[in-house]
Amino acid sequence: MEDRYMGDSIERKNIHGFAAMVVIAVLLLRNFLLIHSWQDFIAVTVLPSLPIISTILIWRICLFLSELPHAIDICSGSYLTLLKRTMFFNSASKVVILITIALFPTLFQEFSLNETFLRIVQLYGLSPWLFSLCASFLIFIVCRWEECVTWEALTMKRLDGLDYGSGMAHSFFHGYLKLILPAKGDNNKSLRDRINDYIEKENLTDEHFPVKKLIVFIPRSGYSHPTFSDVPSQKASDRDVEPAERLQDHLRDRAGTRARCYRGGAYRVRVRSGNQVSALYAIAEYATSVLTFREAYSTGSHEAGRLREHKHDVTSNFYRTLRYLIDHDPDCRDLVALIYFDDEDLSTGKDVISLLQEFLLQNCTALP
């Protein structure tokens, strides 16, 4: 059934493209039969493309300038990368533009040495120009002249939650966070109550647990270590983060699975403030959705290449949508903290462990 729907979609696209090419051929054939001079035909065919190409270039430049303030978020501050994302043309558009440029000498010769534009209008009328203008416009539509990474990223943001990243965020929020964070009126306690039970069970104090929330890390690359103890900066003999006793299991019947188990990973984190070294506790994990997305675009599937092109856009949209969902949900708002970070920017010298330590210290009123 899915193959049939996918086949129908591809077939419709092919039909639309074929219909447009037929119309283009008819328009150009009409001009070819009307105009007897080969040079006149080239001039009438090429000239209407020039304002369209100029408009495309101006539009791309405006698009680049509009995205400059967001260069840090989009491509880690690399203006060259942003320029490549914006000024990229697909193969079909490149061919059309190169053919138009290659015919410039003939066009220049025709209008500068032989006849003027008004002379050609007097000979053939305005209809050839109108037909060529329509044909040129259709050619660039078929070639998808607007197609570039920056434009596609903006289009995803305008889909109002229908883009890939927003879909991941809704799935992660409604299919995970909403299930494990607040109390649902059954035997399962809220995350905060389970943390309080944990503090009492382990003979800790509130100072040991400065953040009574689920801390979710969202790496820009999507790469997630199996556990925080597996981060390369953690030496086996001197670790700042160690697994602690986990929270009470959260059991819930879900999607045909009885007593599905959701476990909260507790970690003992060593922090330093001046000369004082203390052990704090936190419930932290990576957002599994971005890891799954990374695994999806790392495969050899047909869509993997396009997903890889927009990996940062998808992850950014995931964070933005998830942030919005959490902020507007009174049950989850105070039970989760999101930390979105660029793990590909090595200039900061910070990894997920240092970010976790900083976050705990910022929310710690007094070290135990």
| Domain CATH for 325 | 3.40.50.12100
In the chain, how many H helices and how many E strands? 17, 7
Pairwise CA distance, residues 367 & 89, whole Å: 56
Does residue 32 contact residue 139 with C-beta atoms inside 8 Å? no
Question: In one letter, which amino acid is 156?
Answer: M
Together in a domain, 177 and 314: yes
Together in a domain, 140 and 185: no
What pTM, to 2 d.p., does this model score?
Answer: 0.74
Q: Is residue 269 part of a domain?
A: yes
Together in a domain, 256 and 346: yes
Together in a domain, 306 and 214: yes
Together in a domain, 169 and 134: no
Whole-number pLDDT of residue 2: 42
Q: Which residue has the tokens 């930390």?
A: 339
Together in a domain, 42 and 184: no
Together in a domain, 38 and 118: yes
Pairwise CA distance, residues 70 & 77, whole Å: 8
Q: Is residue 252 part of a domain?
A: yes
Question: In one letter, which amino acid is 293?
Answer: F
Pairwise CA distance, residues 199 & 201, whole Å: 6
User: What are the CA-CA distances from residue 337 to residues 66, 202, 215, 286, 327 (Å)?
Assistant: 31, 23, 5, 11, 10
Each residue's pLDDT expressed in tens, for the chain with a length of 368 residues? 444 444 444 455 566 566 767 776 777 777 677 777 777 777 777 777 778 888 888 888 888 888 777 776 667 667 788 888 888 888 878 887 787 777 766 665 555 544 556 666 777 777 777 888 888 888 888 877 777 887 777 777 777 778 888 899 999 999 889 988 888 777 778 889 888 988 888 888 888 889 999 999 999 888 888 888 778 776 666 788 888 888 777 777 677 777 677 777 888 888 888 788 888 989 999 999 999 989 888 887 777 777 888 888 889 889 999 999 999 999 999 999 999 988 877 666 578 888 998 998 888 877 77
Of 148, 182, 199, the residue at which a domain comes to its end is 148
Torsion over CA of 176, 180, 184 and 185, rounded to 10 degrees? 150
Of 148, 175, 192, the residue at which a domain comes to its end is 148
Pairwise CA distance, residues 192 & 213, whole Å: 7
Pairwise CA distance, residues 271 & 53, whole Å: 59
Pairwise CA distance, residues 212 & 337, whole Å: 10
Domain coverage including residue 126: 15-148
Together in a domain, 193 and 217: yes
Q: Is residue 314 part of a domain?
A: yes
Angle 325-326-332 from CA coordinates, rounded to 5°? 130
Number of domains in the chain: 2
Q: Is residue 343 part of a domain?
A: yes
Q: Is residue 214 part of a domain?
A: yes
Question: Is the alpha carbon torsion for 353, 354, 360, 364 positive or negative?
Answer: positive
Together in a domain, 165 and 142: no
Together in a domain, 208 and 330: yes
Which pair of structure tokens corresponds to residue 65? 């300038």
Whole-number pLDDT of residue 335: 93
User: DSSP character for 89?
Assistant: -
Q: Rounded to the nearest 5°, which phi and psi values hold at 220?
A: -60, -35
Whole-number pLDDT of residue 130: 82
Q: Is residue 368 part of a domain?
A: no
In order, the DSSP letters of 279-296 are: EEEEEEEE-HHHHHHHHH
Whole-number pLDDT of residue 46: 76
| Greatest pairwise CA separation for the chain in angstroms | 97
Pairwise CA distance, residues 156 & 316, whole Å: 11
Together in a domain, 247 and 141: no
Of 125, 148, 171, the residue at which a domain comes to its end is 148
Q: Is residue 1 part of a domain?
A: no
Q: Is residue 71 part of a domain?
A: yes
Together in a domain, 270 and 233: yes
Does residue 276 contact residue 367 with C-beta atoms inside 8 Å? yes
